[in-house]
Structure 1
Amino acid sequence: MFKSAKFVAMAVVAGLAASACSGSASGGAEESSSGDTLVVGVDLPLQGASKDASEATVNAMKLYLDQVGGKAGKYKVQLKVYDDSTAAKGAWDDATCAKNAQDHVANAKEVAVMGTYNSGCAQIIAPVLNADPKGPMLMVSHANTYPGLTKSWDPGDPEKYSPSGKRSYARVIATDDYQGAAGAQFAAKDLGLKRCMVLNDNQTYGKGVSKAFEDEAKKQGITVLGNQAWDVKQPNYAALFTSIKSKKPDCVYLGGIFDNNGGQLVKDKVKVLGDNDKVKLITPDGFTGYPEFDGLAQAEGTYLTFAGLSTEVLREEGGTAAKLLDAYKKKYGEDPATNYALYGVEALQVILAAIEKSDGTRKSVRDAVFEGEGITIPAAESAVGKEITISKETGDVNVLDISVLELKGKTETYLKPWPVS
């Protein structure tokens, strides 16, 4: 599964490199003094289906950093963008994530990492940053929803991500134990569904969110017809859905990411089982923010969950989020391609607040989040419009928003919030 690693220190798309620092130094973080420039690594998949979402997230972060003068307290701050995907795979790659982890640690000026987008990549990078002898090195994700990164889920979770014995991984988004459950509750209570087939992409995120959906669906009285992995390398899934058809499902739940041949999967679902008004299609956030998915005729009518608030809602609520979105649209001519863009800014806000409280070293940046008073971003300043507090015990966030979206007219339209219970 491992391929030769490719490390892209600067963004590979035009315009992303302007705010990124150049070069990479060997060794860990060094003592910094007032006026020094510190680096925040940004680790995202810049190739394949996630490219648009990653570009939008980086652009939003750059825009926000410019708005605050490129500083956190007495320190100048620059972003350095790392690509954790490969062209051959068209998605995040295990070996590239492993290489990036070493390069984060090796860059002496880098004090924290924003990312990753994919939970499986975070599983690789987080323990390396945590074991850094000049750290632990702080990592804050805007999009990792796999529960085990911060709480007990699979064997060894979450301790295996903190080999130093001290936590250094945090996130600003709700987790899949909530998201999967919300999808199942929506299926039962709003759609009245009774027989659901669950498919997963056999990756960390996909298996986790599928398990959460399955467990809650059973509690809600839905008959789960199976929880089966789809082979991401298959040219088509006609045989898979033909075998499912005999079970007479009224729902298919796709737990995974669109990058993993999700387009073909959706096409064959409709070809064999019928349109989504006949057999409902429900996905988690692994299918949100992909223009290719939104543009599929066969995807029309899909219900999606998102572990946060949609861009549409954040604009309507006003405040910092709306101002940032307006500035983004003025500069780039459109809203961000992903609902996760402002959560990328939120994660950056946590990192900048930690840097401001620090002495400029990796250890003190991490300690600012997990020791002492910790980090709280007031609602008036928060990129997502709510007061954000990171738990010093777990690294999880206090806000657990879940949104239900519906794909209508090639647009992911906000349908309703889903209460976390």
Structure 2
Amino acid sequence: MKQGYRNGLVAAAVTALSFAAQADEVVRIGHVAPLTGGIAHLGKDSENGARLAVEEINSSGLLIGGKRVTLQVDSQDDAGDPRTATQVAQKLVDDKAVGVVGHLNSGTSIPASRIYKDAGIVEISQAATNPAYTQQGFKTTYRVVATDAQQGPALAAYAAKTLGVKKVAIVDDSTAYGQGLANEFRKAAETSGMTVVSRDATNDKAVDFRAILTKIKGENPDAILYGGMDATGGPFARQARQLGVRAKILGGDGVCSTDVVKLAGPAADNIVCSEAGMALEKMPGGAAFARKYEARFHQPLQVYAPFSYDAVYIIVDAMKRANSTDAAKVLAVMPSTDYRGVIGETSFTAQGDLKHGAISVFSYKDGKKVLLDVVQM
């Protein structure tokens, strides 16, 4: 082989290696929520938040371990179904996602969490509030919202002290989220001196609540706590009004959406609900985020977009601190997270819960969501 030709091959190889070192590494960040079914609007809201974060980070450029990194949202639909949740969790493991934002529901986050634990991939739920999610002892489970152990008591305290509720009926949708919220609310309600006149269950696909509501009407409570999502909570409130039930309808973050106004109609004005986080207007970056979101997606945000947005940035912050896109190394630095984003300061307890949680309480007036109170946890 001629010397000049050999030198040319060497030079070409060096150039190729140099180019490879500069080439983009595509890194997947998983996102899971119901993108079909009755609460698909909430899932899409969450997905939009994650997508907005990824688009911003890619636009500004990301360098990890000497490589240019391009992020990709690996979005999966669990349809709010626990079995589907484990299937899409395994798909994200197979796709080698560096971390996962999800799942949205407690009833999907909990079964999926074991899949991520076995794979050593961080899971940050943008919405799961059931305390059991982070009580399993997994090093992979985190959340950026408060828990029902905080949300239930805050809602009960507001009902007792501000609304003057003496008697309350409780209904849940038989999901991990709905039951968890109802259980925590009941404990706090009884402690605060309220009388729980009844406890009933429906399901998250129900459309007719008249039998339960007719029974409750006869019990004449001051309020009804509904543990469930807006897809059923809205019609529940609407049918309560149609039947002449005068009790206030209390709900958690699953009910506390923009779309509940459409689902409940004029009965939305009778709803008082809580969110397991700071109200958007009280978030440090809330107003600016809302403008960016509406400019990008041409619709108002629902509930969860700011939380999924920050969850993406928290995973990327961990990548930067680990100087790696390796899932195990990213997971290793998660406990030392101290990130300031749209929702405020995020740092975690040893279990993966927020150290600085807040509960916001809202009502609706003339189709508009109105902040009533913020309880710092």
Report the AA paired with residue 249 of structure 2.
L
Report how far residue 290 of structure 1 moved: 5.0
| 8 Å Cα contact 2:52-2:309 kept in structure 1 | no
In structure 2, the CA distance between the partners of 1:375 and 1:84, relative to structure 1 (3 Å rule), is same
Alignment partners' CA distance in 1, 2:88 and 2:328: 20
Q: 1:191 to 1:119 in 2, by over 3 A?
A: same
- TM-superposed deviation, 1:238: 2.1
Quote the residue 2:16 is aligned against: none
Q: Is residue 221 of structure 2 the alignment partner of residue 262 of structure 1?
A: no
Unaligned runs of 5+ in 1: 1-31, 86-91, 152-157
| Residues 271 and 142 of structure 1, relative CA distance in 2, 3 Å threshold | same
Residues 74, 92 of structure 2: 8 Å contact kept: no
Partner of 1:6: none
Shift of 1:118: 0.4
Gap change, CA 1:377 and 1:146, over 3 Å in 2:
same
CA contact (8 A) 1:173 1:399 kept: no
The residue matched to 2:219 in structure 1 has which SS? coil
Q: Does 1:42 align with 2:31?
A: yes
Which residue identity lines up with residue 255 of structure 1 in the other structure? G
Task: Compute the displacement of 1:411 (Å).
Answer: 2.1
- Range moving further from structure 2, 219-228 or 64-73: 64-73
Shift of 1:66: 2.5
1:294 shift after superposition = 4.2
1:148 aligns with 2:171: no
- In structure 1, the residue matched to 2:320 is 356
Q: Deviations over 1:341-368 (max 9, x none)?
A: 1111111121111122232211111111
Cα deviation, 1:92-127, whole Å, max 9, x if unaligned, reads 12222121011011113x111101110111112110
Amino-acid identity (%): 24
Q: Where does structure 2 lack aligned partners over 5 or more consecutive residues?
A: 1-20
1:390 corresponds in structure 2 to 348
Please list, as runs of the form range in 1=range in 2, the aligned pairs for 1:219-258 lying within 5 A after superposition: 219-232=191-204, 236-258=208-230
AA of the residue aligned to 1:388 = T
Matched with 1:399 is 356
Partner in structure 1 of residue 287 of structure 2: 322
Give, in angstroms, the shift of residue 65 of structure 1: 2.5
* Mapped pair 1:174 → 2:146: yes
- How many residue pairs end up in the alignment? 350
- The aligned runs of 1:336-355 (5 Å cut-off) are 336=301, 338-355=302-319
CA distance 1:234–1:311, shift in 2 (3 Å): closer
- Mapped partners of 1:41, 1:206: distance in 2: 25
Distance apart, 1:48 and its partner CA: 2.5
1:272 matched to 2:243 = yes
Q: For residues 102-181 of structure 1, what are the structure 2 equivalents within 5 Å?
A: 102-108=90-96, 110-132=97-119, 136-151=120-135, 158-159=136-137, 162=138, 167-181=139-153
Residue in 1 aligned with 2:77?
83
Q: Take 1:189 and 1:240, find their aligned partners in 2: how far apart are those partners?
A: 27
Counterpart of 1:68 in structure 2 is: 57
Alignment TM-score, normalising by the size of structure 2 = 0.87
Residues 315-338 of structure 1 deviation map (CA, whole Å, 9 limit, x = unaligned): xx5xx43333222222333431x2
Conserved in 1, the CA contact under 8 Å of 2:260 and 2:268?
A: no
| Counterparts of 2:207 and 2:24, CA distance in 1 | 55
Could you say which structure has the larger radius of gyration? 2
The Cα shift of 1:51 comes to: 2.2
1:192 aligned partner = 164
Matched residues in 2 for 1:356 and 1:230: separation? 46
